[in-house]
Amino acid sequence: MSEEIKFLPLEEAARLVAAIQEEEDIHNQDRQILTVYNRDNRELCWFDFQELEEAIGDVPKDQKKEMIQDYILKHIPDWALDI
């Protein structure tokens, strides 16, 4: 039985997250991931870039970055506070 992931409120996630970096997956170089870091430069979590694009759907190119950042901030797991 798996537990449901709980996400931080947007405001709390925005205070916690300092950077979102695009990186290559070290296990699969054809895959891009977005790694989320806190203000102490510690890795909090990561997101698969292709899955993010699918989640946000077809959006204008000039809004894509903002939509991805918004999606990430709304999906920071609550356990990230313990890192």
Query: For residue 11, is pLDDT > 80?
Result: yes
Residue 8: pLDDT band with limits 50, 70, 90: very high
Sheet containing strand 28-38, strands side by side: 17-25, 28-38, 43-48
Q: Decide: 83 and 13 in contact? Cβ < 8 Å.
A: no
pTM of the complete model beyond 0.85: yes
Query: For residue 55, is pLDDT > 70?
Result: yes
| Residue 7, CA distances (Å) to 29, 34, 40, 46 in order | 29, 17, 20, 14
